[in-house]
Amino acid sequence: MEDLRHTARILLQRDDVALTDLWILYWNHGGDCHPFDFDAFIHELLPVAWFDMNALASAVHELVLENTG
38 and 31 Cβ atoms separated by less than 8 Å: yes
What percentage of the chain carries pLDDT values higher than 90?
Answer: 64
Give the span between the Cα atoms of 33 and 36, in whole angstroms: 8
What confidence score (pLDDT) does residue 2 get? Answer: 66
Q: Name the average pLDDT for the chain.
A: 89
Contacts of residue 31, Cβ cutoff 8 Å, sequence gap at least 6: 23, 38, 52, 55, 56, 59
Give the span between the Cα atoms of 63 and 59, in whole angstroms: 6
Q: What domain range is 22 assigned to?
A: 4-68
* Least reliable range by pLDDT among 34-38, 46-50, 53-57: 46-50
Q: What is the pLDDT of residues 8-21, one digit of tens each?
A: 999 999 878 899 99
Check whether 38 has a pLDDT greater than 70. yes
Query: What is the total count of domains within the chain?
Result: 1
Contacts of residue 56, Cβ cutoff 8 Å, sequence gap at least 6: 4, 5, 8, 26, 31
Check whether 1 has a pLDDT greater than 60. no
